[in-house]
Structure 1
Amino acid sequence: MSTVTRSASASPCMALNGIIDASLFPLKSTSDVVNLFRRALTSAIEPDLTLLSIVVGYIELSLTTGEAAQAAQAAQASLGSSSDVIMGNSVPFPVVTHELIAGLYKKFQTILSVVEKPKPHRQATRDIIKKVSDVIWNSLIRSSYKDRAHLQNLYSYLSGNKLDCFGVALATTAGCQLLGYRDVRLAISEDHAWVMFGQKRVESIEVTWHGKGSEDKRGQDIGAGIESGSWLYLGGLAVVCERGMEVAAICVALNISLSANSDCVEVAELQQQLLWLLYDLGHLKRYPMALGLLGELEEINRTHHSISCEQLFREAIEASRTYYHNHHVYPHIFQGNYYNRLLKYREAFAAWANAADVIRLYTYQCRDDEEIYKELLDIANELIPYVMKSESSGHSARSILRDAEVFANLLRFYDGICQWEEDSLTPILHIGWAKPLVNNITKFDYDIRSQVVIKLPEDLEAEQAAALEAKRAMAAAAAAAAESSLHFEGNNNNNNTVVKRDEKPKSELPTTLADLTAACGEKILNPDFLLQGGGQPFADQKQQSVAEETPSHNNKGTNTIDKEATTTTTTTSNGGTLAQSPPNEASSANEATQQPQHQHHKEAKLEESKSKSNSMCNIVEQTTSTPALVDDYDPFEIMLKRPVITLYSQKMKGLKDLLLAEKLNTHAISLQVTAQSVASRKVRGVADSRQSTATISATITAIASTEGGIGGGAGTAASASSASGDSIAASRPKRTRRE
C-alpha cells in the first residue's frame, strides 16, 4: 500500500518541472522554503507557480488561522496585548510534507482536466483563458471575499474553495502554465489583477471581479477600464509579470496578519527572506509594490546591513518613474508615511504631494478607487492634522509652520485630489475634507503663506514667451555692444564718445534685468539688509551694483549703476547728447593733450566692456545657483525661500487669492472646496463647466464682501481667476497614458 502511495505521488512530483523531487521534502524551516524557491528560480526550467503557491499558502494558513495559531491568539488576548507590532504566536513551524503537496497538486490537475491542452507551439486564446477562469470560478464557494485575509493562494482554493479576486487571477495564470500555455502572464495594478497573453503579451482579459460585489467581468478586455481613466488599471501601465515577477507576486500576497493588532512573526520573516532572494536575483526592479513592501518589513526588522528601508522606498519610486511613467501612487505613499513615522515632516509633505501629483492623472471612479481613496483620506484627515497639531505647540523657528515650502506642498496635495475629482461623476471633497483643509491652512501665518508664488497654467505660457523674447533681446544687445566697442574712435572733439558709453547700459542692463525677472519670478531679499541693515534691500540689486563697477579711473563707486541709468534716461528723453561728461574726460581742456589720451582711453573702454560682460554673466550664475545653497533647516534661509507652484484644478485655481490673503475667509474656502463645480457637468460640455465655475465664484465673492474676511477684495480676484479659466481639459497636463 505504501508503494502505491509513493507511486501515485511521484507522478505529480515529476510534473513539478522535473527538478523538484521528493528529496527536498519535508520542509521544516524558513531556510528550507527559501532553498526551495531558490532552486525554482535559478533552474533552467521556469518556476512552477502552482507548487510555490501551495507551499507558502499552507505555511501562511497554518501559522495564522490554524488551531494552534488560534490558541496563541487567544493567549495574547488574555494578556491584554493591543500594540500594533509583530508578535510571535509561539506556533511551531509547520512541516510541509511531500505527500501533502503532491496530493493538492494532483487535485488541481484534475480540476483543469476539462480544458484541452495545447498542441506544440500553440498559444492561448481568449476562449481558452476564459474557460480556465470559468472552471476556477464555478468551483468557488458562492460568497464575496472582499477584504478577507489569507485567500490569495492556491492552498486556500484547493483546501477550502475560497479565493479573493487576486487569488482567482493567480490561479488562472498558474492553471494556464500547468496546461502548457507559456504565453499567459499575470498583470497587477495596485488593487487589481488580470491576464495578458499573446506573442507580445499585448492582449488583455479580465478573469475575476473587483469591488464589494462579484459581478462577472471574465472574458472582457481591460481597454474600457483604461479609457475611463480609472486608477484601478493604472492607465495601462500596470506590472506585467515575467515568471520571476509572478513568484514575487505570490510572496507579496502573503498575509502576515494574525489579528487586528498583531502579526505573525514567522510569516513576516518568511516573506522578508523570500523578497530579499527575489531582490538579489533582480526580479523586483520592475515591481514598485514589492520594493515598498520589503522596505516596510525592513523598517520593522532590519536584516540587510547595506541596503536601508529608505533606499528601498526610493528604488520603488524610481522603478515607477522609469518603467511606468510615474503612474503608481503607493510608492510615494510608502515613502511619505515612512518619513512621517520618523517625524521628518518636511519630507513627508513632499512625498504626499508627489502621490497627489500621480493621482491627478486619473479620474475618480467611486467603486473602483475605494482603496486609494481611503489612503488619501487618511493622510488628509488623520496624518496631516495630527502633524499640524503637534507642530503648532511651541511654534519654534524650526517648525514646519514657518516653512513656506511645506505650505506649498500642502496646496499641491489638495490640488492633485481636486483634479482627480474633476472628470468624475461622483464628487470627492465633501465637508469632511473641507474642515481639516481649512484648519490646516489657518495654521500658517500670512507672512509664510505670502511667500509662496502661485501660478496658473496660463501664467507659465506667458512666462515662456517672455523668456524667449528676453533671450532674443539679450542676443541683440550683446551684438550691439560688441559692435559699439569696435567704433570708439572718431569725433574726438565732441561728446559722441560719452553718449555711446552711456547708451551701453541702456541696451544691456535693462535687458538682463528683464531676463532675470522672467527666470526668477520675484526679487530675492538681501540677507545683509535684513540682518545688518546695510546694502541694497534686494540681492539682485546688490549683485548688479557690484557687477557694474567700472575700473578705478572712473571714480564712480557703488552708485555707478544708478548714475548711469539716470544719465541714460536724460539722454533718451532729450533726444540729444549729455550736457555733462564724466570727470576724467571733462578735465581734458585742450586739443593738444586730448589726442595721446584718446588712445589710452580707447584701450580702457575695451577692457571695461569685457569686464562688464563678465560681470553680467556672473550675475546670472549667482542668481541661478542661489536656491541650491539654501539650508532647509536654517530659519533665516527658510524665510528667504519663495517656493513656486502651479495649480491646475479649477477649485484650487479659484482659491489662489483667498489662500494668499492676509486674513483668511474660511467660509469662502470651504464653499469653494465642497462645491460640485466640475464633478458631473463635464459630460454636458464645456459651457456647463464654465457656467458652474462662474456661479461658485460669484457666491464666494458675495460671502467675502459680506463678511469682510479677505483684505483687498481677494474674493473678487478669486472669482475673476476662476471664471476666466478655459475648459478643464485644456488646463490639465497631458496624460502619459493617453499618448
Structure 2
Amino acid sequence: MSTVTRSASASPCMALNGIIDASLFPLKSTSDVVNLFRRALTSSIEPDLTLLSIVVGYIELSLTTGEAAQAAQAAQAALGGGSDVIMGNSVPFPVVTHELIAGLYKKFQTILSVVDKPKPHRQATREIIKKVSDVIWNSLIRSSYKDRAHLQNLYSYLSGNKLDCFGVALATTAGCQLLGYRDVRLAISEDHAWVVFGQKHVESIEVTWHGKGSEDKRGQDIGAGIESGSWLYLGGLAVVCERGMEVAAICVALNISLSANSDCVEVAELQQQLLWLLYDLGHLKRYPMALGLLGELEEIHRTHRSISSEQLFREAIESSRNHYHNHHVYPHIFQGNYYNRLLKYREAFAAWANAADVIRLYTYQCRDDEEIYKELLDIANELIPYVMKTESSGHSARSILRDAEVFANLLRFYDGICQWEEDSLTPILHIGWAKPLVTNITKFDYDIRSQVVIKLPEDLEAEQAAALEAKKAAAAAEASLHLEGNNNNNNTVAKKDEKPKSELPTTLADLTAACGEKILNPDFLLQGGGQPFADQKQQAAAEQTTSSDVSHNNNNSSSSKEADKEATTTSNGGGSLAQSPPTEASSANATQQQSQSQHKEAKLEESSQVELASSKPAAVDDYDPFEIMLKRPVITLYSQKMKGLKDLLLAEKLNTHAISLQVTAQSVASRKVRGGADSRQPATISATITAIASTEGGGVGGSAGAGNATSATSSTDSIAPSRPKRTRRE
C-alpha cells in the first residue's frame, strides 16, 4: 500500500479548526471512530459537527442500506428470522477514507459559499440563519419530506440531498459553525429541533418543519408554540445544546434499524460506545433522551460493569427534574417499559403514572403531539391490558390486582391524560380508550378499590383552611391561658405546669400534632374512653401492675408500719404534721423521693416499650386496621372527567356504562373561541350519566362490562414483553 504525504495546509481535514489529524484516516473499525470522536471532544478547539456527522452517517448508511446490507436482509428473511431481535448483517466494517470525507466536506463548503461569512466577533442574526436554512431547504429532493430512516446526518444530505426535519436543523447548525457563527446552537425537544442564537441563547428560530407534511416553519419564532402549551416545545424547557451535546445529538440520531424486525448490531455497538464516551466526558448530564437511549442499549447488551440500565433510567429522570422542572415525558416512559419487560408491574404502573403527571402539564395539539399520543395509546390499550390479563389468570396474594397502590397509579395515569385533553380543540379519549379503561378497573375488587383515598383539589383547599383555623384557635387558646396564668399567683401557675402525662390534650391542635409521633388508641377512637394514644395505654397498664405488685409485697409488714405510724402520730399531736411547715430535711427527702419516682416511671415506660416491640408479631399476614388506614394510598384527581368518576370508582358494584359515558364525554374537551374567560366545564354531567346508566343496570357482571372485557383483551393476546422498542428520535 502506497503512502501519500500531505501537508497540513493542503488537507481539508487538517484545516478543520486544527483538531483533526489526517493520519487518523482511514477508519477501519469502531475503535478508530471512537478515537476520532475522543480527539475531537478533548481538544481545546470545539468539535467540528460537519466532519463527525459525515463520518457516522457514512458508516450508518453503509451498514444498513448498502448492497451488502440488502443481501444480508434477504438472507435473513429466507432463514425466517424472528422479530424484535438485533441481527448482525455479516457486512464488514466500511473503510472511511480521507478522500471521501474531504470531498464531501468541500462540497458542503461550496453549498454554503453563497452566505456571507461573519466579520470578527460578529454574532448571527435571524436573517443569516434563515438564509442558511433556505440554502439547505432548496437543495433537498422534495420526496424526502417524510419520516424515513437514515436521513438525520450530513452524509445523507451530501450524497443524496435527503434530510428529515431533525437533519435540516442539524445541517443548519453545522453550516453556521462552518461559516464562523459560534453563537448558533441546536435546541432539541422530544420530537422536534430548532436553533437558538445570541449571546445568551435566548433568541430562537424555526429552521425546518415538523410532522409528515412539508409545511414551512422556517424563520418563525418558537414563542407561539410555547404559549400554546404544546408538548412539542416542552414549555420552553427543551435541551439547549453546547458543542459536546450537539455531538451527542449526532450519536443519538444514529438509526440502527435494518428493517422493521431487525437491527444492525454493528451500528448499535458504535452508537453504544460513542454514548459511553460522551457519558464519561459529562456531556449527557443535561440530555435525558440520550441517557434513556443508552439505558436501552445497555439492556440489550451489557457493556458497563458498574452502571446498569436501571441506574441510567433513573439518571434520565433526575436530569429532567433537576434541569427541566420535570417537563420531559420520555424518561418516565423508558423506565416504565423497562420495568414492564422485567415483569415488575408495580414499578411499571408507577412510572407510567409519572409520565401522565408530566403530560398533564400540556394541552393536546393533534398534529404536533402525534408521537407522544402513540406512546400513551400503546401503554393504555396494549401494555396495561396485557398485564391485567396476565395477572388475572391466577389467584395469587402477590398479584397487582390485590394492591391498592397499583389501582391508584392506574387512576393517576388516566387522570393525567384527561387533563391533557382539557382545553384542547381535539378530544383524546374516544371509545377505543374507554373500553380498556373500564376493563382494567373491573379487574380490581371492591375491597381493593375502597382502600384508595381519592381527594379533589376542593377537598385539599378545605383541609388547608380548616388546619389554618385550628392553628389560629390553638394560638388564641394558648395566648389566653398564658394571660390567665400571668394574672394569677405563683401557686396557680405551678399547678398548671404540673400537668400529668395521662391528661388529654386541651386543644385539637395538640392532639393533631401528637398524632404524627404516636399511635392512636383504638378504644379512644371507637368509644371515646381511655387514653388517646397506645403508648399511654401501655404505660397506665404497667403502672397499675407495678402498684398492685408493690402493695402485695408490702402486706406482710403492714402491721408494724401501721403501729409505727400510730406512734408517730400520737407523739406529734394527731394530724398536726400535715399542716406544719416543712423542714429542710423533709423537703430534701421529698425531692429525693420525687426524683426516684420520676426515674422509676422512666424505667417502666422504657420497659413497656421494649416489651411492646418484642411482643409484636413479625408475621406478614398480621392485619392491623389502623396501620392499613395509615398506609392507604391517597391520590388527588385534577381532571374534570376523573373527578366526575370519583363516586363511580369507589362503588361496590361498578357501573361500567356510566364510566364509559363519562370518559368519552366531549363537553369537557372544548374551549371557547370568543372571549377570554376560562372555559373549562365542570363535571356536572356525572350525575346525569349515573342516573341514565343506572336504569340500564350496568354493573360489574353486566353485559356492558363483559363486552368491553372481550373486545379489549382479544387484541392483546400477542402482546408480550420484548426487547426495547426503537423510537423515532428527533
Query: 1 CA distance for matches of 2:579 and 2:690?
Result: 56
- Mean Cα deviation higher: 141-150 or 177-186: 141-150
572 and 164 in structure 1: CA distance in 2 versus 1, 3 angstrom threshold: farther
Query: 2 CA distance for matches of 1:730 and 1:89?
Result: 25
Equivalent residue for 1:528, pick from 523, 531, 539: 523
Q: Deviations over 1:514-567 (max 9, x none)?
A: 666699899999999999999999979978988999995999999999999999
129 and 447 in structure 1: CA distance in 2 versus 1, 3 angstrom threshold: same
Q: Deviations over 1:482-509 (max 9, x none)?
A: 9999999999999999998999799973
CA contact (8 A) 1:446 1:663 kept: yes
Q: Deviations over 1:356-381 (max 9, x none)?
A: 00000000000000000000000000
Query: 2 CA distance for matches of 1:240 and 1:292?
Result: 17
The alpha carbon displacement at 1:462 in A equals 1.7
CA contact (8 A) 1:701 1:716 kept: no
Aligned twin of 1:720: 712
The alpha carbon displacement at 1:467 in A equals 2.7
CA contact (8 A) 1:349 1:406 kept: yes
- Mean Cα deviation higher: 207-216 or 549-558: 549-558
Query: 2 CA distance for matches of 1:374 and 1:564?
Result: 91
The alpha carbon displacement at 1:86 in A equals 1.0
253 and 500 in structure 1: CA distance in 2 versus 1, 3 angstrom threshold: same
The alpha carbon displacement at 1:156 in A equals 0.2
1:296-307 counterparts in 2 under 5 A? 296-307=296-307
571 and 652 in structure 1: CA distance in 2 versus 1, 3 angstrom threshold: farther
* SS of structure 2 residue aligned to 1:731: coil
512 and 331 in structure 1: CA distance in 2 versus 1, 3 angstrom threshold: farther
13 and 498 in structure 1: CA distance in 2 versus 1, 3 angstrom threshold: closer
The alpha carbon displacement at 1:252 in A equals 0.2
CA contact (8 A) 1:485 1:606 kept: no
317 and 559 in structure 1: CA distance in 2 versus 1, 3 angstrom threshold: farther
TM-score by length of 1: 0.78
627 and 226 in structure 1: CA distance in 2 versus 1, 3 angstrom threshold: farther
The alpha carbon displacement at 1:641 in A equals 2.8
Q: Deviations over 1:139-188 (max 9, x none)?
A: 00012543210000000000000000000000000000000000000000
Q: Deviations over 1:665-687 (max 9, x none)?
A: 00111111000122123445698
In terms of fraction of residues, the more helix-rich structure is 1
Query: 1 CA distance for matches of 2:486 and 2:111?
Result: 105
CA contact (8 A) 1:356 1:416 kept: yes
Aligned twin of 2:357: 357
211 and 538 in structure 1: CA distance in 2 versus 1, 3 angstrom threshold: farther
* SS of structure 1 residue aligned to 2:258: strand
Query: 1 CA distance for matches of 2:81 and 2:238?
Result: 39
CA contact (8 A) 2:424 2:671 kept: no
676 and 522 in structure 1: CA distance in 2 versus 1, 3 angstrom threshold: farther
CA contact (8 A) 2:204 2:222 kept: yes
526 and 177 in structure 1: CA distance in 2 versus 1, 3 angstrom threshold: farther
The alpha carbon displacement at 1:599 in A equals 14
The alpha carbon displacement at 1:596 in A equals 14
Q: Deviations over 1:329-364 (max 9, x none)?
A: 000000000000001111000000000000000000
CA contact (8 A) 2:25 2:98 kept: yes
CA contact (8 A) 2:157 2:163 kept: yes
CA contact (8 A) 1:502 1:564 kept: no
- Mean Cα deviation higher: 490-499 or 536-545: 490-499
Larger radius of gyration: 2
Query: 2 CA distance for matches of 1:703 and 1:75?
Result: 61
335 and 535 in structure 1: CA distance in 2 versus 1, 3 angstrom threshold: farther
CA contact (8 A) 1:548 1:561 kept: no
- Mean Cα deviation higher: 247-256 or 16-25: 16-25
CA contact (8 A) 1:488 1:497 kept: no
CA contact (8 A) 1:53 1:250 kept: yes
CA contact (8 A) 1:430 1:674 kept: yes
Query: 1 CA distance for matches of 2:257 and 2:557?
Result: 73
CA contact (8 A) 2:539 2:604 kept: no
CA contact (8 A) 1:123 1:182 kept: yes
Query: 1 CA distance for matches of 2:659 and 2:556?
Result: 48
Q: Deviations over 1:400-445 (max 9, x none)?
A: 1111111100000000000000021000000000000010111010
The alpha carbon displacement at 1:7 in A equals 7.8
Q: Deviations over 1:231-285 (max 9, x none)?
A: 0000000000000000000000000001111100000000000000000000000
* SS of structure 2 residue aligned to 1:195: strand
The alpha carbon displacement at 1:703 in A equals 2.0
Query: 2 CA distance for matches of 1:229 and 1:13?
Result: 44
Aligned twin of 1:214: 214
729 and 716 in structure 1: CA distance in 2 versus 1, 3 angstrom threshold: closer
Unmatched 5+ stretches in structure 2:
none
522 and 404 in structure 1: CA distance in 2 versus 1, 3 angstrom threshold: farther
Share of identical aligned residues, percent? 92
520 and 161 in structure 1: CA distance in 2 versus 1, 3 angstrom threshold: farther
Q: How many residues align?
A: 719
Q: Deviations over 1:626-678 (max 9, x none)?
A: 99999999999879730001110000011111101111000111111000122
The alpha carbon displacement at 1:450 in A equals 0.4
CA contact (8 A) 1:540 1:623 kept: no
* SS of structure 1 residue aligned to 2:187: strand
* SS of structure 1 residue aligned to 2:82: coil
- Mean Cα deviation higher: 559-568 or 140-149: 559-568
- Mean Cα deviation higher: 548-557 or 61-70: 548-557
- Mean Cα deviation higher: 434-443 or 724-733: 724-733
Query: 2 CA distance for matches of 1:573 and 1:329?
Result: 90
- Mean Cα deviation higher: 205-214 or 674-683: 674-683
Query: 1 CA distance for matches of 2:105 and 2:654?
Result: 66
Query: 2 CA distance for matches of 1:670 and 1:106?
Result: 62
438 and 431 in structure 1: CA distance in 2 versus 1, 3 angstrom threshold: same
Q: In the alignment, is residue 562 of structure 1 matched against residue 560 of structure 2?
A: yes
CA contact (8 A) 1:653 1:721 kept: no
Q: In the alignment, is residue 704 of structure 1 matched against residue 702 of structure 2?
A: no
Query: 1 CA distance for matches of 2:718 and 2:93?
Result: 61
106 and 480 in structure 1: CA distance in 2 versus 1, 3 angstrom threshold: closer
Aligned twin of 1:614: none
The alpha carbon displacement at 1:8 in A equals 12
- Mean Cα deviation higher: 579-588 or 631-640: 579-588
Unmatched 5+ stretches in structure 1:
473-477, 609-619
The alpha carbon displacement at 1:464 in A equals 1.9
Aligned twin of 1:59: 59
The alpha carbon displacement at 1:17 in A equals 1.6
The alpha carbon displacement at 1:594 in A equals 20
Equivalent residue for 1:485, pick from 476, 480, 486: 480
Off by >4 Å, runs of 4+ in structure 1:
1-9, 478-508, 510-590, 592-608, 620-640, 682-691, 708-722, 724-739
Q: Deviations over 1:569-607 (max 9, x none)?
A: 9999999999999999999999x9999999999999999
The alpha carbon displacement at 1:465 in A equals 2.5
CA contact (8 A) 1:46 1:243 kept: yes
537 and 499 in structure 1: CA distance in 2 versus 1, 3 angstrom threshold: closer
CA contact (8 A) 2:251 2:271 kept: yes
140 and 423 in structure 1: CA distance in 2 versus 1, 3 angstrom threshold: same
The alpha carbon displacement at 1:212 in A equals 1.4
648 and 368 in structure 1: CA distance in 2 versus 1, 3 angstrom threshold: same
79 and 604 in structure 1: CA distance in 2 versus 1, 3 angstrom threshold: closer
- Mean Cα deviation higher: 320-329 or 519-528: 519-528
- Mean Cα deviation higher: 434-443 or 567-576: 567-576
570 and 648 in structure 1: CA distance in 2 versus 1, 3 angstrom threshold: farther
CA contact (8 A) 2:386 2:720 kept: no
Equivalent residue for 2:598, pick from 597, 600, 609: 600
Query: 2 CA distance for matches of 1:280 and 1:572?
Result: 94
Query: 2 CA distance for matches of 1:121 and 1:639?
Result: 67
Query: 2 CA distance for matches of 1:98 and 1:490?
Result: 93
- Mean Cα deviation higher: 375-384 or 493-502: 493-502
499 and 365 in structure 1: CA distance in 2 versus 1, 3 angstrom threshold: same
Query: 1 CA distance for matches of 2:602 and 2:545?
Result: 10
Query: 2 CA distance for matches of 1:483 and 1:462?
Result: 24
Query: 1 CA distance for matches of 2:563 and 2:15?
Result: 89
418 and 523 in structure 1: CA distance in 2 versus 1, 3 angstrom threshold: farther
CA contact (8 A) 1:124 1:183 kept: yes
